[in-house]
Structure 1
Amino acid sequence: MATQKHINPFLKQALELGPTLVFFVLYLRIKDDVFVWGGTEYSGFIVAAVVFVPILLIAMGLLWALTGQLSRMQVFTAFMVIFFGGLTAWFNDERFFKMKTTIVYGFLAAILAIGLARGRSWLEFVMADVMPMRHEGWMILTRRLTLAFVILACANEFVWRTMSTDAWVKIETFAFPVALMGFLFWQFAALQSYVIEEDGTGRDSADG
C-alpha cells in the first residue's frame, strides 16, 4: 500500500476543485460558440465537457504523484467523467454529461443504503480515524446523508430536465457542492454528543 504524503492543503484543494472551476470558466467563454469537427457541429457546452476530461485526469495524476494515493471516490468520479464525457462527445448529446451527476449521487446513496441494510455504516469504515464517533452517531449520519444524496440526485434530474444549460452549470458547479458541504457541517455540529473524546468517552458522557 502506498504511503500517503502530505502536501500543502491549498494545493490539494486547487487540484481537487480546479478542474470543475476550469470547466465553468471555459463554458462561460465558449457557450455561445459552435465548433465543427469532422463535419459535425458541437456546442460550446459539449466542447467544454470534453476538455474537462483531460484536465481532470491531469489534476488527479498530479494529486496521486504528490500524495501517493487517490480515494476510491476520486477514482470512481474520474471513471464517470470519462465514461459520460465520451458518450456526450460520441452522441453529440449534452444530456449524458448532465445525467452523470444524478448517477454519482444515486450511486453514493445506494452504497450507503446497502451498508445500512446490513447494519453497518460505510462512513464509519472510511472516516472513523479522522473523526472518532460512536457507532450510533455514524448510523444516524449515514441515514441522513443517504437521504441527502437521494435529494441531490432528484434535484439534479429536475434541474437539467426543466432549466437551461446555463442554470444547470451554475447549480452543478456551486449550489450542489455548497449545499452538501453545509449539510455536512450542520450534521457534524448536531452529532457532537456522539464524538469520542481522547479519554474514550462521548461528550455527552463527559458532560454528565
Structure 2
Amino acid sequence: MAKRDINPMLKSALELGPIVAFFVAYLWLKDRVFTIGGTEYDGFIVVTAGFVPVMVAATAALWALTGTLSRMQVVTVVLIVVFGGLSVWLNDDRFFKMKPTLIYLIFGGVLGFGLLRGQSYLRYVMEGLMPLEETGWMILTRRVTIFFLGLALANEVVWRTMSTEAWVYFKTFGLTAALFAFFLCQGGLFRRYGTGEDEA
C-alpha cells in the first residue's frame, strides 16, 4: 500500500486519542467495581478492556489512511493486545502495567544489538525526520538506547512501589514528558551533525 499524507491533527488524534481516552475513563471509573459474569472487576481492568479495542481500531484507521505503520507502532499495539488481554482475562492489572517496560526493553535491546554490529537501527526509522551524519546517528542511537533502558527501569519502579493512580499519571504524562525533554536536549547534537538537507 502506498504511503499517503493525512491531516496532522487527525494523525495526532489517532495516535494520542486512545491514551487520552484511557486516562479520562480511568479517572471516571477508578473507584467503581463491576460484577461481570459473577466476577468483580475494578475500574482499571474495565478501562483496560475498553482501551485495547480502541487502540486497535485507531491503529487500523491510521494504517488505512496513511498506508503505513512504523515497526514501533506495530509492536506497541501487539503488546497492548497481549498484555491488556492478559490483565482482563486474569483480572490482574500487573500485566498491563508491565507493558511499557517490555516496549522500552525491546526497542532498547534492538538498538543496542544494532550498535554491537556497528549500525544505527534508529537511522532506518527516523532518517527522514532528522538528517544526520553517520557519527551523529551513532551517538544519538547510544543515547536513545540508554534512555529507553532507563524508562523501562523507571516504569518498573513506579508500578511496583506506587499506587495504580500514580502509575496512570506517570504513564500518561511522565513518560510523554520524558520523551519530549530527551529529544529537546539533543539540539546540540542535531546542530553539530545535521546534514542540512532539510534547510529548504
Q: TM-score range by the shorter chain?
A: over 0.9
Q: Which residue of 2 aligns with 1:49?
A: 48
Q: Which residue of 1 aligns with 2:190?
A: 191
Identity %, equivalent residues:
54
Q: Cα distance 1:198–1:52, how it changes in 2: closer, same or farther (>3 A)?
A: closer
**Aligned-pair CA distance for 1:190:** 3.3
- Select the structure of larger CA radius of gyration: 1
**Aligned-pair CA distance for 1:141:** 0.4
Q: Following the alignment from structure 2 to structure 1, what is the Cα–Cα distance between the partners of residues 40 and 63?
A: 36
1:161 alignment partner, SS class: helix
TM-score w.r.t. length of structure 2: 0.96
User: Partner letter of residue 99 of structure 2?
Assistant: K
Q: Which residue of 2 aligns with 1:123?
A: 122
2:186 alignment partner, SS class: helix
Q: Is 2:158 aligned against 1:173?
A: no
Summarize deviations over 1:159-202 as a string: whole Å, max 9, x none: 00111100000010011111112101211443311000249xxx
Q: Following the alignment from structure 1 to structure 2, what is the Cα–Cα distance between the partners of residues 145 and 198?
A: 23
**Aligned-pair CA distance for 1:131:** 1.8
Q: Following the alignment from structure 1 to structure 2, what is the Cα–Cα distance between the partners of residues 126 and 100?
A: 22
1:180 alignment partner, SS class: helix
Q: Cα distance 1:185–1:39, how it changes in 2: closer, same or farther (>3 A)?
A: same
Q: Following the alignment from structure 1 to structure 2, what is the Cα–Cα distance between the partners of residues 130 and 158?
A: 32
Q: 2:136, 2:189 within 8 Å by CA — same for their partners in 1?
A: no
Q: Which residue of 2 aligns with 1:65?
A: 64
Q: Following the alignment from structure 1 to structure 2, what is the Cα–Cα distance between the partners of residues 131 and 12?
A: 19
Q: How many residues align?
A: 198
The gaps in structure 1 that reach 5 residues or longer are 200-208
Q: Which residue of 2 aligns with 1:162?
A: 161
TM-score w.r.t. length of structure 1: 0.92
Q: Which residue of 2 aligns with 1:98?
A: 97
User: Partner letter of residue 56 of structure 1?
Assistant: M
Q: Following the alignment from structure 2 to structure 1, what is the Cα–Cα distance between the partners of residues 127 and 164?
A: 39
Q: Cα distance 1:32–1:192, how it changes in 2: closer, same or farther (>3 A)?
A: same
Summarize deviations over 1:113-135 as a string: whole Å, max 9, x none: 00000000001122223321111
User: Partner letter of residue 186 of structure 1?
Assistant: C
Q: Is 2:151 aligned against 1:152?
A: yes
**Aligned-pair CA distance for 1:28:** 0.5
Summarize deviations over 1:70-90 as a string: whole Å, max 9, x none: 111111111000000111011
Q: Which residue of 1 aligns with 2:85?
A: 86
Q: Which residue of 2 aligns with 1:135?
A: 134
2:35 alignment partner, SS class: strand
Task: State the superposition RMSD in angstroms.
Answer: 1.2
Q: Following the alignment from structure 2 to structure 1, what is the Cα–Cα distance between the partners of residues 46 and 107?
A: 28
